[in-house]
Chain A
């Protein structure tokens, strides 16, 4: 109905309505063109991408042993399939909204031009094409046939993720017959995503509990939650990370203290939980008290009233802020490089310190920025899809 048509008259109306508008438009267009061409010229002619091309593996997985990397490929394949499945089911009805089309195009472009631009070996390029194709095909199939699947089966689909997470942990760290790869050898994007996803998965339930605790009628629980939330929110993450590295070693006997990688993951989790708790609390506050009263007057015990009536509504309000918190968390993982972990930024710093690639900082940082942007965009798109799905009056469900 209101699809924006790029007609000449419309452009004229919106960009050149008055002489002043016209001047501003021309100035802005000129500025953007100048910046754009300068950037393109740098990217195509001045930048030396060898620093990236030579270190793709390092950026991706750090010092993960080469002969064990098939495990990570397998995990990537599983992740692509699960993503496609969830994506298709979230949309349902075989529809491809504009956001989805855009995402598909970006994915294909990344797979084709990304792996070509990085001068990956042909077999590896082919692998990325295959994984991208798998993701899109599964997404198409899930959207196409989701209606045909029985509802109880569909309700089990979200469980794919925790199961996949456990499978992924085994694949990454070894055990169950696989060779062990200690956390010290994980690095790059692998470590960044691992830390972020671990913290995102665990901080969420913890944050919900803290938010409920803060509104509890039991004074000890309430004050405990308030104290925790306010203490964490009052301290910078970097100090907490250093604190975590040092204090856990003192508190726990030598063998029991988790590895540095896991210490950092727990600190991130506890840190993010305090912020998620505040987001969830905003959702709880927004809920009219009559909702809980109605649920309780129907005889629902407190925990059922919370699970079936209060939290679903509170979460819908809190979801955007919570996902915003997840995105921040993903970006905060760069601080791990300051405590000596080889996450994406830490790896990049070792590469830039290599005399062979001296002075190639701009190239490296640009790639980092693009990688982080891709991850955050995926999170944002996912949350938007979830929001639409949770809204009972959304056209897709009515």
Chain B
């Protein structure tokens, strides 16, 4: 789970600042470096800008100051550059955002066949394997509306993986789930981390962070407050704000 010291940098964010159109400053100069194979967990109170921050990595949110380099490509306003980055960066949302008018299998094969223009049969084969990996291949012909929340989120993960991304972003992947379904999703993410996927995860799941994270980042009021290995972060936080946050979630 810990990456070698000289692993290539996958995401490099420097001094990122973002204002919303109403003048509210959501990000106040955030720095973050993520190396290949790392699992970075971002925690923090709601409104701290953590979701906004990881959504800048694939340009779902824009930013006004600073720089972000993803997989060697600087994020610019160039649409083709953004599309190229999005092909390499998978994203899993709190609300799953599966396409309800397509079957589970079609949800997985849509982007690879359209964007990568791979042959349909080959993609379907791969999609079925991915669905088997997340434990729902027998539901391949069903529609998302017929699945439970946990199953839908696992389909969403498989959908992202089907594009063979080099980085996976998770935006509170278990927050919308019933408690008994959280574990099945975390298990899939854990296995993904074990296979060496570079991951940035916004979550409140302490156990997941402890077991899987290479580093934990605490954000508050649009800034990084503390950045530390999980063991140190949870047992011996250095900042008052971190201690306050940890006492609130435990």
Q: Do the two chains bind?
A: yes
A contact set with B: CB distance below 8 Å: 288, 290-291, 293-301, 304, 308-309, 312-313, 316, 390, 392-393, 398
**CB pair A299 B163 closer than 8 Å:** yes
Tell me if B5 is interfacial: C-beta within 8 Å of chain A: no
**CB pair B99 A291 closer than 8 Å:** yes
| Interface pairs A-B: 10 shortest CB-CB | A294-B97, A298-B111, A299-B87, A290-B97, A297-B91, A299-B86, A392-B143, A299-B115, A312-B101, A290-B95
Tell me if B83 is interfacial: C-beta within 8 Å of chain A: yes
In the complex, which residues of chain A have a beta carbon less than 8 angstroms from the beta carbon of B79? 301
A-B CB contact pairs (8 Å), 19 listed: A290-B97, A291-B99, A293-B97, A294-B91, A294-B97, A294-B156, A297-B89, A297-B90, A297-B91, A298-B86, A298-B115, A299-B86, A299-B163, A308-B114, A309-B99, A313-B100, A313-B101, A316-B101, A392-B101
Interface of chain B residues 64 through 116 with chain A (CB within 8 A): 79, 83, 86-87, 89-91, 93, 95, 97-103, 110-111, 114-115
In the complex, which residues of chain A have a beta carbon less than 8 angstroms from the beta carbon of B146? 393
C-alpha gap A294/B146 in the complex (Å): 19
In the complex, which residues of chain A have a beta carbon less than 8 angstroms from the beta carbon of B115? 298-301, 304
Name the residue on A nearest B80 (C-beta).
Answer: A301
**CB pair B97 A291 closer than 8 Å:** yes
**CB pair B143 A393 closer than 8 Å:** yes
Scoring A296, A298, A301 by chain B CB atoms within 10 A of each residue's CB, the highest score goes to A298
Tell me if B60 is interfacial: C-beta within 8 Å of chain A: yes
Name the residue on B nearest A292 (C-beta).
Answer: B97
**CB pair A297 B110 closer than 8 Å:** no
In the complex, which residues of chain B have a beta carbon less than 8 angstroms from the beta carbon of A293? 60, 93, 97
C-alpha gap A304/B90 in the complex (Å): 18
C-alpha gap A309/B110 in the complex (Å): 10
Tell me if B242 is interfacial: C-beta within 8 Å of chain A: no
C-alpha gap A290/B95 in the complex (Å): 8
Interface of chain B residues 131 through 182 with chain A (CB within 8 A): 143, 145-146, 156, 159-160, 163
Tell me if B203 is interfacial: C-beta within 8 Å of chain A: no
C-alpha gap A316/B28 in the complex (Å): 42
Name the residue on B nearest A302 (C-beta).
Answer: B79
A85 to chain B, nearest CB (A): 24
In the complex, which residues of chain B have a beta carbon less than 8 angstroms from the beta carbon of A291? 97, 99
Given A298-B159, A300-B111, A392-B143, A290 and B93 contact (CB-CB distance below 8 Å): yes
Scoring A294, A301, A312, A313 by chain B CB atoms within 10 A of each residue's CB, the highest score goes to A294
Scoring B89, B90, B98, B114 by chain A CB atoms within 10 A of each residue's CB, the highest score goes to B114
Tell me if B223 is interfacial: C-beta within 8 Å of chain A: no
In the complex, which residues of chain A have a beta carbon less than 8 angstroms from the beta carbon of B103? 392
B117 to chain A, nearest CB (A): 11
Name the residue on A nearest B102 (C-beta).
Answer: A392
**CB pair A393 B145 closer than 8 Å:** yes
C-alpha gap A398/B141 in the complex (Å): 9
The contact of B114 among A288, A300, A398, by CB within 8 Å, is A300
Name the residue on A nearest B95 (C-beta).
Answer: A290
C-alpha gap A272/B128 in the complex (Å): 45
In the complex, which residues of chain B have a beta carbon less than 8 angstroms from the beta carbon of A299? 83, 86-87, 111, 115, 163
B88 to chain A, nearest CB (A): 8
C-alpha gap A80/B145 in the complex (Å): 38
In the complex, which residues of chain B have a beta carbon less than 8 angstroms from the beta carbon of A308? 110, 114
A152 to chain B, nearest CB (A): 12
A343 to chain B, nearest CB (A): 39
**CB pair A297 B99 closer than 8 Å:** no
Tell me if B198 is interfacial: C-beta within 8 Å of chain A: no
Known pairs A290-B95, A291-B99, A299-B86. 17 more at Cβ < 8 A?
A291-B97, A294-B99, A297-B58, A297-B60, A298-B110, A299-B87, A300-B111, A300-B114, A300-B115, A301-B79, A304-B115, A309-B110, A312-B101, A313-B100, A392-B100, A392-B145, A393-B143
B129 to chain A, nearest CB (A): 18
Name the residue on B nearest A289 (C-beta).
Answer: B97
C-alpha gap A313/B143 in the complex (Å): 14
**CB pair B114 A304 closer than 8 Å:** yes
In the complex, which residues of chain A have a beta carbon less than 8 angstroms from the beta carbon of B60? 293, 296-297
In the complex, which residues of chain A have a beta carbon less than 8 angstroms from the beta carbon of B99? 291, 294-295, 309, 313
C-alpha gap A398/B143 in the complex (Å): 9
**CB pair A298 B93 closer than 8 Å:** no
In the complex, which residues of chain A have a beta carbon less than 8 angstroms from the beta carbon of B58? 297
